[in-house]
Amino acid sequence: MANSTLASLDLEGTLIGLSEAVVLSEALKTNSTLTTLNLCKNSIGENGAAALSEALKTNSTLTTLDLQSNSIGDNGAVALSEALKTNSTLTTLILKNNSIGPDGVVALSEALKTNSTLITLDLYYNSIGYNGAVALFEVLKINSTLTNLELGENSIGDDGAVVLSEALKANSDLTTLSLPSNSIEENGAVALSEALKTNSTLTTLDLDWNSIGENGTVALSEALKTNATLTTLSLYNNLIGPNGVVALSEALKTNSTLTTLQLCKNSIGDNGAVALFEVLKINSTLTNLELGENSIGDDGAVVLSEALKTNSTLTTLDLNWNSIGENGTVALSEAFKTNASLTTLSLYGNLIGDNGAVALSEVLKTNSTLTTLRLTDNPIGPNGEQALSKVSKAAKVEKPDRLDVCDGNNRLYKRLERDAKRAKEEEFRTVANRLLNAIGGLEENMAVIGARSLGYILVGVNEFYTSKKCPVCFEFVCQANIRRLYCSFIHSDITAGHNMCNIVKDHLMNQE
């Protein structure tokens, strides 16, 4: 690299293969200015990773390397681990979605025993499993530099969480731990809770898309009563229920550090919401509360409005996809006449109606703190739209017909990305099962009956799914009569698998 000023190079999705990776690696051996290299979503493979690893052994300026989605596998991870043993400048290594299994993670773990510079390691969506997790968590007991560890979708399970909890009792450096979609249930949550009672450094814990349930949540709540460092707890879709939220509410009465609580999609209902909203009257630290998809209705909204009249710390409130109607919205509007802290209120997919919209528009004329109001997918008629249009000119209202697009980097995007992946997998299984029935096969002998022809068909179906992408965010675009999973993830229609199956079945019949 002859350029003597270039500090950041972004080559994401530029069709870079092995040969290009080798050339780039040679340049890195002599370059002394580049600090950030993004090779995300290319095809360098294990040999390309090996070439880059050789460069890392001598390069002394690169601090961030992003190799997400490059199929480097275990061998590529082993090569990188050798480089990490001697490299003294790399602080961030992103290896998301690279088919790395236990062997690759064991090698990386060995490197982390001596490496003293790596701060962030992202292994999201690999296959490290229990064995890989054990190796990595053992290193946490002695490594003193790693602060950010991303392990989402790695099949760690309860047993892995138990091992991790022991490591957290000894570790005094990790601040951010992300474990979404890891099949962690009650026992794993209980173990992690015990660790939180003594750990004094962890500030962010992400347990989205697990199944910790009511008992696991009760255990975490007990930990929150004494833990003095955790500021962000994310429990999206964890089967918590109203009783679990009641326990969390009790903890929030005394906890003085938690600022962000994510509880979307947990079926807490009005009963759970009421308990949580009552706490807002006395809690003085929570700033961000996410309660989307929780069957909260007008009763919950009325209690919330009373809490907002006295609460002075909450700035962001997510109530998307609940059942708040006109009465609940009118009550919330009354609260905004005195509330001086809330800046963002999200009410996607509720039932606020014309009267609710008019009430909100009236209070926005005098409220000087609410800067973002999201009302997409609400049944708002002409009167409500007209009232909102008058205040939206002041940039306070996101109009009801606007679809927000995530920026691809924030936590909301990552969570919804997981939702889309789960929905797609569920629909894909539906297609497979229906096709098997169509050809007279059974799921358990899929490999025997019609496997080859079925495989070709399913590959074709998958190509259909992945070829219709938004040119902005590269996610699914609405397909009329087939798929309704929008690129902005506003809502999805699970009947897509059934529709797709019928299309393929009709095609087969025509072929016959």
End position of a domain, from candidates 373, 402, 431: 402
All residues at 6 or more sequence positions from 317 whose CB lies less than 8 Å from its CB, including other chains: 289, 291, 342, 344, 345, 346
Average pLDDT over residues 220-229: 98
3-state secondary structure of 360: helix
Is residue 459 domain-shared with residue 380, that is, in the same domain?
A: no
Give the Å distances, CA to CA, from 484 to 405, 431, 497. 16, 16, 11
More confident residue, 251 or 385: 251
Final residue in a domain of this structure, among 381, 402, 423: 402
From 155-159, 225-229, 250-254, 451-455, the region with the lowest mean pLDDT: 451-455
Residues 420 and 496 in one domain: yes
Q: Decide if 291 is inside a domain.
A: yes
Q: What is residue 142's DSSP assignment?
A: T
Three-state secondary-structure class, residue 469:
strand
Confirm whether 57 is domain-assigned.
Answer: no
Residue 335 lies in a domain: yes
63 pLDDT higher than 50: yes
**Same-domain pairing of 272 and 398:** yes
The span from the CA of 267 to the CA of 254, in Å, is 25
- What CATH number has the domain bearing residue 310? 3.80.10.10
Both 360 and 308 in one domain: the answer is yes
Domain stop point among 374, 402, 430: 402
Query: Nearest 10 degrees: CA dihedral of 168, 197, 126, 453?
Result: 150
Is 475 contained in some domain?
yes
* Other CB atoms within 10 Å distance of the CB of residue 440: 8
Q: How far is CA 205 from CA 91, 195, 222, in A?
A: 21, 12, 15
Closest CA to 215 of 250, 197, 236, 190: 190
**Using an 8 Å Cβ cutoff, are 281 and 308 in contact?**
no
Structure tokens at 339: 């509330």
Structural domains in the chain (count) = 2
Residue 479's pLDDT band (cuts 50, 70, 90):
very low
Q: Give 243-284 pLDDT, tens digit per residue.
A: 999 999 999 999 999 999 999 999 999 999 999 999 999 999
Residues 334 and 431 in one domain: no
How many angstroms separate the CA atoms of 127 and 451, rounded?
25
- What is the rounded average pLDDT of the residues 131-149? 95
Q: How far apart are CA 458 and CA 439, in angstroms?
A: 14
What's the token pair of residue 116? 């003293």
Domain identity same for 364 and 425: no
- In this structure, the answer to whether residues 330 and 350 fall within a common structural domain is yes
Domain extent at residue 415: 411-511
Pairwise CA distance, residues 24 & 19, whole Å: 9
**Relative orientation angle of helices 451-467 and 411-438, to the nearest 10 degrees:** 150
pTM of the model: 0.81
Mean pLDDT of the chain: 84
Considering the domain architecture, whether residues 383 and 441 belong to the same structural domain is answered as no
Same domain, 298 and 277: yes
Residue 465 has pLDDT above 70, yes or no: no
Q: Does residue 398 lie in a domain region? A: yes
Together in a domain, 389 and 426? no
Q: Does residue 415 share a domain with residue 384?
A: no
364 and 273, same structural domain? yes
